Amino acid sequence: MFLSRLAKALGLFLFLCFWVTITHAQTSAPTSPKNVWPKQTIRIVVSFTPGGAPDILARVLAESWQKNLGVPVVVENRPGYGGNIGADLVAKSDPDGYTLLIGTVGIHAINGALYEKMSFDPVKDFTPISFLASTPNVLIVNKKLGVNNLHELIELAKSKPNELTFGSSGVGTSLHMSGELFKEMAGIQIRHIPYKGRAQSLPDLVSGRISMLFDNLSSSLPLIKAGEVQALGVTTLKRSHAAPDIPTFAEQGLSGFEAVSWFSLMGPAHLPPTIQKHLNQLTRRTFNDPEIRARLLAGGLEPAPGSPADLSKLISQESTKWSRVVQQSGAKLE
């Protein structure tokens, strides 16, 4: 009898232990999207040609995430129409965290004012995830132009209205708008020559087919250091840590001149908050890594990952600023 009661008690004890273990496992299991996401290849869309700042940042993310997430992370370049082609692809993709966009000031703060018809809304059709980095734009000129600073260039442009040309990586990009702002503030007339990307514009600058080019400092720094082009000024209010010898536009008489290229990580609208949060954490971890930060800073990019709310606020502020510039320039595209 005693042994029977002991066996029943022991059985009940083991059952209770098993039940407590299962219950604890169920209640303490992490609810992070790591349990359900990612399960397949993540695609980061870059709306510009390879080699530029958006492409560099996408590949930094892809390399880091692939090591940590255990799934392939690919970068897909879809250039054209000032970034609209790649952005449209992401805007219309499923909001599942597998298709993301390297957002730019052009896509999210300029194109809405520049294009008469858009196949997507640059704000409402995206979920902000994190700011990534910024870089000064830099004005570089053909060395045979014979100018050594901004003042000399302005005087030359005033003596030859509409004869000098400036290139950019596309209509509506921050590089194009840097040129329009320069024209407005300097009181000069120079013609804009848009390209599909920097890979096409740089050979024309070096050969003299165009007079000058607005480019991301991070992209043109190797050419500047090699002496193949002349850098006249950076478009930020402060000099760049990566190129402290290049003066700002403001230092050379255009007080208040500022045109920064910035880049962000965006998903389609209605991205689940759990995935948005997880992607934000992954992005912060990547760009706060000391080795990655040092590498980007040396190349002229200034990483500063932040919250989705901060990114939304920036987009709103930049949209107001660049809408005014677009309106004053008279630029309008179908």
pLDDT tens string 146-172: 999 999 999 999 999 999 999 987 777
> What pLDDT is attached to residue 200?
82
> What pLDDT is attached to residue 7?
44
Question: Do 234 and 145 reside in the same domain of the chain?
Answer: yes
**CATH number, domain containing residue 125:** 3.40.190.150
Q: Phi and psi (nearest 5°) for 136? A: -65, 150
Structurally, the chain folds into a number of domains equal to 2
For 309-327, give one letter per residue: b (16+ CB within 10 A) or e.
eebeebbeebbebbeebbe
Q: Is residue 30 part of a domain?
A: no
**Domain end (from 196, 219, 252):** 252
Question: Do 206 and 296 reside in the same domain of the chain?
Answer: no
**Domain end (from 252, 279, 311):** 252
Check pLDDT > 60 for residue 27.
no
Q: Write down the mean pLDDT value for the chain.
A: 88
Question: Do 233 and 198 reside in the same domain of the chain?
Answer: yes
Half-sphere exposure of 142 (CA within 13 A, CB side): 18
**Domain end (from 203, 218, 252):** 252
Check pLDDT > 60 for residue 40.
yes
> What pLDDT is attached to residue 219?
83
Q: Is residue 153 part of a domain?
A: yes
Q: Is residue 23 part of a domain?
A: no
Q: Is residue 40 part of a domain?
A: yes
Question: Do 248 and 276 reside in the same domain of the chain?
Answer: no
Cα gap 20→25, rounded to integer Å: 8
Question: Do 92 and 111 reside in the same domain of the chain?
Answer: yes
Closest by alpha carbon to 213, among 236, 230, 226? 230
Question: Do 126 and 147 reside in the same domain of the chain?
Answer: no
Check pLDDT > 70 for residue 26.
no
Check pLDDT > 90 for residue 21.
no
More confident residue, 177 or 269: 269
> What pLDDT is attached to residue 33?
54
Q: Is residue 52 part of a domain?
A: yes
Q: Is residue 13 part of a domain?
A: no
Question: Do 148 and 241 reside in the same domain of the chain?
Answer: yes
Check pLDDT > 70 for residue 32.
no
Question: Do 196 and 227 reside in the same domain of the chain?
Answer: yes
R_g of the chain, CA atoms, integer Å: 26
**CATH number, domain containing residue 204:** 3.40.190.10
**Domain range holding 143?**
136-252
Question: Do 175 and 72 reside in the same domain of the chain?
Answer: no
Question: Do 144 and 240 reside in the same domain of the chain?
Answer: yes
Cα gap 57→128, rounded to integer Å: 16
Q: Is residue 285 part of a domain?
A: yes
Cα gap 272→268, rounded to integer Å: 10
Per-residue pLDDT averaged across 257-284, rounded?
96
Question: Do 154 and 169 reside in the same domain of the chain?
Answer: yes
Question: Do 197 and 304 reside in the same domain of the chain?
Answer: no
Q: Is residue 75 part of a domain?
A: yes
